[in-house]
């Protein structure tokens, strides 16, 4: 009798295992299977693409990335963490007030900077100064102006929506250290966009300038950032009006696994009357942006960038005849000599301010 019962339970278990992929193949075209991760999902390994000793690991990657009902299972887990256990849906995200989601940072930098616990040592600050002075001299020898542009974390811009359980220990963090140290000890032109963004936010509280569900500024915030940069180098950026839309980016909704229930629930803006007659040679968000224009500012602008330039790129492309914006992950010093910029901008979000420890043109 016990043997028959065990057989029945084994049969039921195997049937369920078979039913999951079988039902998924039938329902696949009717459910959401969108890849919300900022990477290509793993493919089934072959001897042409995978070393034999990595086969078990590669198969595990494939199963994890392509498991049936993956989006739905991730959503159920995230909703349970958020609504049942009152916890953050993932290790990378923090559920804030009034629908805001915040980012801890891949290394915890965003959260540590918000708390004021992330600081540079004196030696590190001196190294940053040495790197930037060397880079500035390298560009000066090539008749090029150097500018450091720092974009604020959303945790700083909208700190009032951070959970009260997360305590701030010091109002100053590594970003404030760098800005103060550079302004005191160097002639490096540093654009810290926080004050301009804060003034706009306080004057227009009904218009968010960062996404609720993403780490980045929205199109309106990106315009303010681009205007700060252009005003600093006396480039003629047009005054624009904006209309509200519901189009938005969702990296934090993706990280938290809540994209399926948050789709279309963010605020964005589209510029009215922005010319789009520039030529786009390359527009790769993970690589480079290369824009050409005519009859605009004839200085050649290069921006060694991170993802915050994505929102600024069409404003920049509208201002300069030649603009080249390579991502820092693919940037090489040789690009400077090839492009011959008149203005070089190193743009960095403050959560990645420690990248200055390794950035050096020479």
Of 9-13, 63-67, 210-214, 327-331, which gets the smallest average pLDDT?
Answer: 63-67
CA 258-285-291 angle, to 5 degrees, is 145
pLDDT tens digit sequence for 48-102? 677 766 767 766 766 666 666 555 654 455 455 555 545 556 778 999 999 899 9
Q: What pLDDT sits at residue 50?
A: 73
> β-pairing, 241-245 with 189-192?
unpaired
CA distances from 20 to 44, 66, 79 (A): 19, 13, 22
Check residue 107 and give its pLDDT: 72
pLDDT on residue 253: 78
With vertex at residue 205, the alpha carbon angle to CA 165 and CA 314, rounded to the nearest 5 degrees, is 105
Higher pLDDT, 302 or 20: 302
Residues 6+ apart with CB under 8 A from 298: 321, 322
Nearest to residue 239, comparing CAs of 273, 267, 209? 273
Cα separation, 361 vs 132, in Å, equals 8
| Separation between Cα atoms, residue 124 and residue 167, nearest integer Å | 26
For the CA atoms of 158, 164, 166, 171, the dihedral, rounded to the nearest 10 degrees, stands at 60
Tokens 């527009």 label which residue?
283
Runs of H (alpha helix) within the chain: 2-27, 55-66, 70-79, 109-115, 122-140, 154-157, 174-185, 194-203, 219-232, 251-256, 259-262, 309-319, 334-339
Lowest mean pLDDT among 71-80, 163-172, 204-213, 253-262: 71-80
Per-residue pLDDT, 35: 61
- The DSSP letter of residue 327 is B
pTM metric for this prediction: 0.83
How many CA atoms are closer than 13 Å to the CA of 290, on its beta-carbon side?
A: 7
**pLDDT digits over 149-183, tens only?**
999 999 999 999 999 999 999 999 999 999 999 99
Cβ neighbours around 267 below 10 Å, total: 19
Confidence class for position 224, pLDDT limits 50, 70, 90: very high
Return mean pLDDT, the chain. Answer: 87
Judged against a pLDDT cut of 80, whether residue 247 lies above it is answered with no
- Rounded to 5 degrees, what angle do the CA atoms 334, 342, 131 make? 55
Calculate mean pLDDT across residues 298-322.
Answer: 97
Q: Which pLDDT belongs to residue 276?
A: 84
Q: Which of 8-17, 134-143, 157-166 has the lowest mean pLDDT?
A: 8-17
pLDDT in tens, 91-132: 789 999 998 999 987 777 899 999 999 999 999 999 999 999
Compute CA distances 238 → 152, 224, 296, whole Å.
Answer: 23, 11, 11
């Amino acid at each position: 009798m016990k043997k028959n019962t065990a057989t029945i339970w084994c049969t039921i278990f195997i049937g369920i295992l078979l039913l999951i992929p079988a039902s998924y193949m039938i329902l696949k075209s009717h459910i959401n299977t969108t890849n919300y991760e900022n990477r290509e999902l793993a493919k089934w390994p072959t001897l042409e693409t995978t070393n034999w000793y990595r086969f078990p690991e590669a198969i595990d990657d494939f199963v994890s990335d392509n498991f049936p009902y993956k989006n739905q299972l991730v959503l159920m887990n995230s909703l349970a963490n958020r609504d049942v256990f009152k916890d953050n849906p993932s290790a990378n995200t923090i559920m804030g007030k009034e629908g805001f989601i915040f980012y801890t940072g891949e290394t915890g930098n965003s959260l540590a900077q918000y708390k004021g616990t992330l600081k540079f040592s004196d030696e590190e600050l001196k190294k940053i100064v040495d790197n930037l002075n060397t880079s500035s001299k390298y560009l000066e020898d090539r008749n090029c102006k150097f500018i450091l542009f720092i974009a604020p974390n959303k945790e700083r811009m909208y700190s009032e929506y951070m959970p009260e359980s997360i305590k701030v220990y010091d109002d100053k963090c590594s970003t404030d250290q760098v800005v103060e140290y550079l302004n005191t000890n160097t002639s490096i032109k540093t654009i810290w966009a926080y004050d301009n963004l804060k003034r706009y936010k306080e004057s227009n509280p009904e218009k968010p300038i960062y996404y609720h569900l993403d780490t980045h500024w929205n199109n309106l915030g990106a315009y303010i950032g681009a205007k700060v940069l252009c005003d600093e180098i006396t480039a003629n950026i047009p005054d624009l009006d904006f209309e509200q839309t519901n189009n938005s980016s969702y990296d934090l909704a993706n990280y938290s696994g809540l994209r399926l229930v948050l789709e279309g629930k963010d605020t964005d803006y589209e510029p009215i009357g922005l010319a789009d007659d520039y030529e786009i040679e390359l527009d790769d968000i993970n690589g480079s942006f290369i824009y050409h224009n005519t009859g605009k500012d004839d200085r050649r602008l290069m921006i060694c960038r991170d993802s915050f330039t994505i929102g600024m790129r069409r404003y920049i492309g509208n201002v300069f005849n030649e603009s080249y914006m390579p991502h820092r992950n693919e940037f090489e010093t040789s690009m400077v000599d090839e492009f011959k910029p008149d203005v070089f901008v190193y743009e960095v979000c403050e959560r990645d301010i420690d990248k200055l420890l390794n950035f050096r043109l020479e």
